[in-house]
Amino acid sequence: MRKLILLVLLCLGGSLSINAQVGGLYSQYMFNGLVINPAYAGSIEDAMSFTAFYRDQWAGVDGAPQDLTLSAHGPFGKNKKVGLGVFLENNREGLTNWYNFFASYSYKFELQNNATLSAGLQGGASLLQANLLEGDAPDGQVFDPALGFESAWRPNFGAGLYYYSDRLYIGVSVPYILEQRSIRDKDGVEISLNQGARTRQYLLTGGYVFPINDNLKLKPSALLRVFQGGYDPVVADLSASLFIREAFSLGITYRTGAEIGAVVFMLGYRAPNGLRVGYAYDNSFDDISRYTSSHEVLIGFDLSRSDKGVLSPRYF
């Protein structure tokens, strides 16, 4: 198992040269952990977890990002130390359309004080589609109809580490290690992508649950994204969530960044049978907030694999 951790650390250490495109952006990232860290697979004790996300960034604006994600993961093996997961993701932005298909594997190491360290890898492929004829050509020119609709498959993989206990979690990951900046048309001509380029990003997440009383829990959390170049070389999500009777949650996030900076308001509910629903409203800092806003909806279900039901409430 040491070899697995060394491989994960090597992958992480070799991917600090990253860029400014964020791919899928999720305000409720703390409940969509598999998409940002493969080591999250199987972290829900004795349960299969299913989650669907839909995000409409700058609703009503032509070409604005739209993201849809379906994911599932759970623990496997005699001692539940192996985690397996899969997610399907669609990112639409401008003239480009990404389809991501990835499978995740994690292995867990039990530590002192009921803590767990999980090392994870993921592999899969991305289908990039670009409808180049929908773009605006320079004045006095027209696009060559031969360009038409281009598409290309690109393999990719990611790695991560995830440490968690009943109250604390810390994760580090690189979801997409291979950079994808262009596609080739049917004649083999390389076409650079200004919109939709998929480049590496380094993610650091963490959070802690503070019990206030039997009915209230406070959880501060953070997500740090590091990019190379672009308008936002570093983007931080600083969040605080209040859990009420381990069923309802209220949250607020301050997101930095010139392009995607916002204040986010979140609502959530978890039913005793494992059903989870959530909603996030983003109010951007830039001038576009006068005309539009961003919305995100979460629907999930934790399916217990034991007669006792899902043993612990979902804080992350």
User: Under DSSP, is residue 1 helix (H, G, I), strand (E, B) or coil?
Assistant: coil
Q: Residue 163 in contact with residue 185, Cβ under 8 Å? A: no
* Cα dihedral 19, 24, 30, 34 sign: negative
**pLDDT at position 17:** 32
Indicate which CATH number applies to the domain containing 200. Answer: 2.40.160.40
- Written as six digits, the tokens of 64 are 């604005």
Residue at 17 is within a domain: yes
**pLDDT at position 141:** 47
Residue at 311 is within a domain: no
Residue at 47 is within a domain: yes
pLDDT tens, N- to C-terminus, the chain (316 residues): 555 554 555 555 544 333 334 456 789 988 888 989 999 999 887 789 999 999 998 877 777 788 999 999 999 988 889 999 999 999 888 777 889 999 999 999 999 888 999 999 999 998 888 776 655 544 444 445 555 567 778 899 999 999 999 899 999 999 988 876 665 555 555 555 544 456 678 999 999 999 999 999 999 999 999 876 555 788 899 999 999 998 999 999 999 987 778 999 999 999 988 899 999 999 888 766 677 788 999 999 998 866 555 545 567 7
**5 phi/psi in degrees, rounded to 5:** -65, -40
**pLDDT at position 272:** 87
The number of distinct structural domains making up the chain is 1
Residue at 231 is within a domain: yes
- The Cα 287–Cα 298 span in angstroms is 27
**pLDDT at position 26:** 86
Q: Residue 234 in contact with residue 226, Cβ under 8 Å? A: yes
**pLDDT at position 49:** 92
Q: What is the reported pTM? A: 0.83
**pLDDT at position 274:** 87
Range of the domain at 112: 2-304
Q: Counting runs of H as helices and runs of E as strands, what totals does the chain give?
A: 2, 17
Residue at 315 is within a domain: no
